[in-house]
């Protein structure tokens, strides 16, 4: 479970996250929507513990910057940041060692198969296309079997096959009780799989709706998005 309370982040004069509070339950898929500059990446980076901020963020009841919390969450950044001189397989081995995962070779092989990277496992980070780098980044986040996972624009650069695979993975994570947070501009890409949407504008969550709320009002997620951000 993820709990964000009164998150506030300011860069010089810009307030990028203004008193944001929300939670994502076990087995819930939350989608963070908002126009460019709304504060989605800032919120995700704060949750991932990469920025200084005010407020509190807990991962399964543990402060997000604690070692205990870091063991529990996976993060797929907007721009993959691979090691140029590690191969695809070495990235996974590095994560397995850093997180002390023990024997997980089969899991690594399965992930590489699912993302069509099995034949690329000896390629260096610097030799990979943008989409391949994104797939490695996703595999690294999934390998730890997280309890909370953060995806910042995960579909960007992926081919249709990988997008389909990733959608299946979102649902598998949900079934396993993981809290899934996805920031995206591609509303269609999360249609049918989300449980809760948080719509951000100017650094604030201006609307939060569950799928049931929206079904009752017979609106689409896209309609709601434009109504909230432009209405
Ligand atoms: P996008 O959809 O374009 O990725 P976003 O919703 O993820 O946007 P953020 O990247 O969180 O938005 O940016 C929120 C605000 O904070 C913007 O006004 C942006 O210009 C500003 N901002 C983001 N990063 C920095 C930074 N490192 N220094 C200064 N201002 C920043």
CB 30 within 8 A of CB 182: yes
- Residue in this structure with the two tokens 């989409």, named with its chain if needed: 131
| pLDDT above 90 for 231 | no
pTM: 0.95
Q: What is the dihedral of CA 157, 69, 145, 109, to 10 degrees?
A: 70
CB 224 within 8 A of CB 207: yes
Compute, in angstroms, the gap from residue 168 CA to the centroid of ligand 1.
29
The pLDDT score that the predictor gives to residue 26 is 98
Output the domain CATH number for residue 56: 3.40.50.300
Nearest CA to ligand 1 atom 2: 36
The pLDDT score that the predictor gives to residue 169 is 96
Using the atom order of ligand 1, give the atom closest to the CA of residue 183.
7
| pLDDT above 90 for 217 | no
Pocket test for ligand 1, best of 9, 12, 14 (most atoms within 8 A of CB): 14
* Averaged pLDDT for residues 80-103: 96
Nearest CA to ligand 1 atom 30: 11
Pocket test for ligand 1, best of 31, 41, 50, 156 (most atoms within 8 A of CB): 41
| pLDDT above 90 for 53 | yes
Distant-in-sequence, close-in-space partners of 119: CB < 8 Å, separation ≥ 6: none
| pLDDT above 90 for 95 | yes
Nearest CA to ligand 1 atom 19: 37
Compute, in angstroms, the gap from residue 185 CA to the centroid of ligand 1.
14
The domain containing residue 190 runs over which residues?
2-230
- Residue in this structure with the two tokens 């797939």, named with its chain if needed: 135
Give the integer Cα–Cα distance in Å for 228 and 38: 12
Pocket test for ligand 1, best of 10, 40, 43 (most atoms within 8 A of CB): 40
Compute, in angstroms, the gap from residue 126 CA to the centroid of ligand 1.
27
Nearest CA to ligand 1 atom 29: 11
Confidence of residue 218 (pLDDT cuts 50, 70, 90): confident
Residues in contact with ligand 1 (CB, 6 Å cut-off):
11, 14, 16, 34, 36-42
Confidence of residue 219 (pLDDT cuts 50, 70, 90): confident
3-state secondary structure the chain: CEEEEEEEEEECCEEEEEEEEEEECCCCEEEEECCCCCCHHHHHHHHCCCCCCEEEEEECCEECCCHHHHCCEEEECCCCCCCCCCEHHHHHHHHHHHCCCCCCHHHHHHHHHHCCCHHHCCCEHHHCCHHHHHHHHHHHHHHCCCCEEEEECCCCCCCHHHHHHHHHHHHHHHHCCCEEEEECCCHHHHCCCCCEEEEEECCEEEEEEEHHHHHHHCCCHHHHHHHHHHC
Count of domains forming the chain: 1
């Amino acid at each position: 479970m993820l709990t964000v309370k009164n998150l506030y982040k300011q860069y010089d004069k810009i307030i990028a996250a203004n008193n944001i509070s929300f939670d994502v339950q076990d087995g819930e898929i939350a989608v963070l929507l908002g126009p460019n500059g709304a504060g989605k990446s800032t919120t995700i980076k704060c949750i991932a513990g990469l920025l200084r901020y005010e407020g509190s963020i807990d991962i399964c009841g543990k402060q997000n910057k604690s070692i205990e919390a870091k063991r529990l969450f996976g993060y797929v950044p907007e721009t993959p940041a691979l090691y140029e001189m590690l191969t695809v397989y070495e990235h996974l081995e590095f994560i397995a060692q850093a997180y002390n995962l023990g024997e997980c070779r089969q899991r690594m092989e399965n992930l590489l198969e699912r993302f069509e990277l099995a034949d690329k496992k000896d390629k260096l980070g610097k030799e990979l296309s943008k989409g391949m780098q994104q797939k490695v980044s996703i595999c690294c986040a999934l390998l730890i079997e997280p309890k909370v996972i953060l995806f910042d624009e995960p579909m960007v650069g992926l081919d249709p096959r990988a997008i389909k695979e990733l959608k299946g993975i979102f649902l598998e994570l949900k079934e396993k009780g993981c809290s899934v947070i996805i920031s995206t501009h591609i509303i269609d890409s999360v249609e049918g799989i989300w449980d809760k949407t948080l719509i951000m504008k100017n650094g604030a969550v201006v609307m939060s709706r569950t799928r049931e709320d929206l079904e009752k009002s017979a609106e689409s997620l896209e309609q709601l998005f434009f109504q909230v951000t432009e209405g």
